């Protein structure tokens, strides 16, 4: 079996699921989800919750008491004693931790009985099962009246998804220092590039954000603009976002997935050059696919 440790927000959870899904599919074994982090994390500025329950894939959960982790490092006396007693009676699972923000191709060749512990923010971990993920990362329920109306407008216009990530990116000092916030000028520059790239200017903008009020008060564009308001972040916004024709991303895994799930063969995806404000993390990251535009 393959076990994936989920942590972080909605779309970080999607990365963790997708990497594990690819490995389980490759090996022909079952995939289990460990939600321990959400139930035990304390003293955090930005509480997170399991958010994948609305999607159309088998969700098999496993409790940490059901298996014993084997670390990829020399074992101390406590670990050895555990294996000799309690740990011996349980399935022994190799604990594989992510080394850095870059793509590690060795993960693709892992064997069975692995516990994946990391962010896995690169399509290279799961691009070869894209057809499977397109079916599975689909909301279980139909859109309500309001979302159905927005979806109809998106599908029948030259729609552009524009995502603004704020929240803890602004309010939390440590998060702000690591991630940073994309400036409004980036969006104007991206739209100008998009108009030139596709040779069209009849865009209809659909703005998604975890601070839609700020967007309404501070963002003005020379295109008809609809601010998607009232949805809880997650599957409903993702359904709308992925049906847009083109995408202007924030430095956010949420808009990343909205663009990646888009099946328009002519889509143009624009992402910020600086994904992480932290210079080392930004050098290491392999999150932006090579055919997306960096501005």
In this structure, is residue 139 part of a structural domain? no
* CA angle, 27 then 289 then 116, to 5°: 35
Select from 92, 109, 134 the last residue of a domain: 134
**pLDDT for 41 beyond 80:** no
Report d(CA 160, CA 267) in Å as an integer.
10
Q: Is 109 left (phi over 0), alpha (psi -120 to 50) or beta?
A: alpha
What is the residue range of 265's domain?
A: 145-294
In this structure, is residue 98 part of a structural domain? yes
Could you list the beta-strand ranges (E) of the chain. 2-5, 31-34, 68-71, 92-97, 114-117, 158-164, 203-209, 225-227, 246-248, 269-271, 293-294
* pTM exceeding 0.95: no
- Examine the domain organization and report whether 165 and 279 are in the same domain: yes
- Examine the domain organization and report whether 100 and 11 are in the same domain: yes
- Examine the domain organization and report whether 157 and 34 are in the same domain: no
Number of domains in the chain: 2
The Cβ of residue 29 has, within 10 Å, a number of other Cβ atoms equal to: 15
Task: Average the pLDDT over each of 20-34, 38-52, 100-114, 203-217 and give the range with the smallest value.
Answer: 38-52
pLDDT band at 84 (very low <50, low <70, confident <90, very high): low
How does the average pLDDT of the chain come out, rounded? 89
């Amino acid at each position: 079996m393959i076990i994936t440790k989920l942590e972080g927000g909605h779309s970080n959870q999607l990365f963790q699921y997708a990497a594990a899904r690819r490995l389980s599919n490759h090996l022909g074994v079952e995939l289990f989800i460990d939600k321990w982090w959400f139930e035990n994390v304390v003293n955090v500025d930005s509480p997170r919750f399991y958010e994948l329950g609305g999607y159309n894939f088998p969700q098999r959960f496993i409790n940490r008491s059901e298996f014993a982790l084997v670390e990829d490092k020399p074992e101390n006396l406590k670990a050895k004693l555990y294996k000799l007693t309690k740990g011996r009676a349980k399935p022994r699972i190799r604990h594989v931790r992510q080394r850095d923000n870059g793509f590690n191709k060795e993960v693709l060749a892992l064997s069975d009985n692995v516990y994946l512990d990391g962010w896995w923010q690169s399509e290279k971990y799961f691009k070869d099962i894209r057809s499977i993920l397109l079916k599975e990362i689909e909301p279980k329920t139909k859109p309500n009246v309001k979302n159905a109306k927005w979806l109809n407008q998106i599908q029948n216009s030259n729609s552009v998804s524009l995502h603004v990530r704020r929240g803890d990116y602004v309010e939390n000092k440590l998060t702000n220092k690591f991630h940073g916030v994309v400036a409004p000028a980036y969006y104007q520059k991206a739209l100008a590039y998009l108009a030139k790239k596709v040779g069209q200017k009849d865009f209809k903008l659909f703005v998604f954000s975890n601070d839609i009020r700020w967007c309404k008060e501070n963002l003005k564009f020379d295109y008809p603009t609809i601010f998607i308001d009232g949805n809880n972040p997650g599957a409903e916004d993702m359904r709308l976002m992925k049906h847009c024709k083109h995408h202007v991303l924030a430095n956010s895994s949420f808009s990343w997935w909205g663009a990646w799930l888009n099946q328009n063969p002519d889509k143009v995806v624009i992402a910020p050059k600086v994904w992480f404000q932290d210079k080392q993390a930004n050098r290491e990251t392999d999150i932006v696919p090579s055919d997306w535009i960096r501005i």
